[in-house]
Amino acid sequence: MSTQSRGVSSGKLAIDGGAPAVIHPLPPMYPGGMRIGQEEEASVLEVLRSKRLFRYYGPEPGPSKVAELEQRFAKMVGTRYALAVSSGTAALAAALAALEVGPGDEVIVPAYTWISTAAAVVAVGAVPVIAEVDDSLTLDPADFEEKITKYTKAVIPVHMRGTPANMDAIMSIANRYGLKVLEDVAQADGASYHGLRLGSIGHAGAFSLQFNKILTSGEGGMVTTSEEEVYERALMYHDVAASQRAGLPQDRTIIGVNCRMSELQGAVALAQLDKLEGILRDSRKHKRALKEAIADVVESRTMGFRRLHDEDGEAGISLVFYMRTPEAAQYVVSALHAEGLTCSSVLFQRGSSDYHVYFHWTPILNKQYWGAQGPWRWNQRDVSYDREMCPRTLDLLGRAVHLDISPDLTDTNVGEMVVAINKVLESL
Ligand SMILES: Cc1ncc(COP(=O)(O)O)c(C=O)c1O
């Protein structure tokens, strides 16, 4: 395509040698991480000075940062309990164990999620069954229902890139089949679905506080639930001595692994939690402004924006529109990069390994495990995988142009992003 044949209306494209539209540098996409400041410093220093680095005890008696974090996190999400753990993957595994998922069980996971969602299923000895996403890029309820067998025990809807899954449809199917619902909220701290915070809708929620996430303590995770027994089992999974500490009866004790959160992480996460509403307010504001300003050109030159199940509730950290073909998506992203919009990407490319797409989950697809056959040996039917098994997901992701929306964008950044996107799309 030459510049002339694309009928450029707002200046020569940078990919064709024109001046880039984005001049001011974009902030790195570490929403919570970029807001680390004096509050985190003071909180960590307080812990260090007390020498109490372990949540359950230290040289002097005193309050635990992790315990305070749990209380405040549960309040924010709207659940009775929150349990702090060492990572989002650990939160998923602890929640699955707490929901009594184990060998012989199948768990349905979406084809578009970080590999941890499936890895946690394997970690508790169960088998992941992969289902399609729809044009919201979250679990397709129809394919979820299609994939249910008599061995299905649970489903993990994932609120991808700050955006809620179709929880009404998923809950109603899950209830009909008596399945447990574990929400994967790793990428959507603080977002909500029709007035309910994510992580409070299913039987349990799992959050991540890893460095890329909306809130961060470098590493960390949270399990949320309102069910006492689920909380107790998660507690025992995350701390091998929990039943002794909590005085729980030995005949109800389950064995677990230690994946506790340290007081240092708790101190950082607690300071971050105070910043959540500000982060959400800013990213939502930038996303709204950007979306409005590119809406006409997206409507006329592309296949439209990603479908959203609750536009007001989503975290606002990403924006997606679909092109007609993967080639067009790749061209648009190359042109946006040339304009200086380095926060843009195509969500799936066959030749570029990315653990967000099941197609690239080689260890799962090949059932590579540390012991012979892994959990698949316990499965009562053959669950096998194929790289092409979710063609709709691959088609959607291959045509999806994604933009990171940092809460730390300035109005100037947003203005330049608008110019770049309009310029590139108008040229098509
Ligand atoms: C959707 C999703 N689930 C789970 C995880 C796992 O979180 P962590 O890296 O804290 O183990 C992540 C993040 O990496 C994620 O994006």
Kindly state whether residue 210 falls inside one of the protein's structural domains: yes
Query: How many angstroms separate the alpha carbon of residue 133 from the centre of ligand 1?
Result: 18
Residue 414: count of CB within 10 angstroms of its CB: 18
8 Å CB contact between 140 and 130: no
In this structure, the chain runs to a length of 428
Which CATH number does the domain housing residue 157 bear?
A: 3.40.640.10
**Number of the ligand 1 atom closest to the C-alpha atom of 92:** 4
Tell me, using a 6 A CB cutoff, whether residue 208 lines ligand 1: yes
Q: How far is the CA of 95 from the centre of ligand 1 (A)?
A: 14
Q: What are phi and psi of 359, to 5 degrees?
A: -50, -30
CA of 61 to the centre of ligand 1 (A): 34
User: What does the alpha-carbon distance between residue 374 and residue 148 come to, in Å, rounded to a whole number?
Assistant: 21
Look up 287 and say whether it is catalytic: no
- Single-letter code of the amino acid located at 233: R
- Catalytic: which of 180, 213, 275, 287? 213
CA of 287 from ligand 1 middle (Å) equals: 23
In a domain, 413, yes or no: no
Between CA 290 and CA 292 the distance in angstroms is 6
> Which residue segment(s) compose the domain that 82 sits in?
38-275
CA 213 – CA 32 distance, rounded (Å): 7
List of the chain residues with pLDDT < 70:
1-10
Residue 179 lies in a domain: yes
Q: Are 40 and 215 in contact (CB under 8 A)?
A: no
Q: With a 6 A CB cut-off, is 216 part of the ligand 1 pocket?
A: no
Instruction: Find all residues with CB under 8 Å of 95, minimum gap 6, and list them.
Output: 182, 204, 205, 206, 223, 225, 230, 234
Ligand 1 within 6 A of CB of 210? yes
Q: How many domains are contained in the chain?
A: 1
Q: What are phi and psi of 240, to 5 degrees?
A: -65, -20
**Quick check: CB of 87 below 6 Å from ligand 1?**
yes
Q: What is the pLDDT of residue 5?
A: 35
Strands 192-193 and 81-85: unpaired
Q: Is the CB of 88 under 6 A from ligand 1?
A: yes
- Domain assignment of residue 403, yes or no: no
Q: What pLDDT score was predicted for residue 9?
A: 45
Residue 80 in any domain: the answer is yes
> What pLDDT is stored for residue 11 in this prediction?
85
Determine, yes or no, domain membership for 142. yes
Closest residue by CA, ligand 1 atom 10:
88
**What is the rounded CA–CA span in Å between residue 3 and residue 358?**
37
| Long-range pairs of 122-125 with CB within 8 A, sequence gap ≥ 24 | 122/364, 122/369, 122/374, 122/375, 123/89, 123/93, 124/93, 124/96, 124/97, 125/375, 125/378
Could you tell me if the CB of 420 is within 6 A of ligand 1?
no
- As a whole number of angstroms, the distance between CA 41 and CA 250 comes to 41
Alpha carbon of 138 to ligand 1 centroid (Å) = 15
Three-state secondary structure readout of 361-382: CHHHHCCCCCCCCHHHHHCCCC
pLDDT for the residue numbered 372? 80
Does residue 104 form part of some domain? yes
Residue 428: what pLDDT?
94
Structure tokens at 162: 């700050």
Please report the atom of ligand 1 found closest to the CA of residue 89: 11
| Amino acid 6: pLDDT | 36
> How far apart are alpha carbons 405 and 410 in whole angstroms?
11
Examine residue 28 and state whether it is found in any structural domain, yes or no.
Answer: no
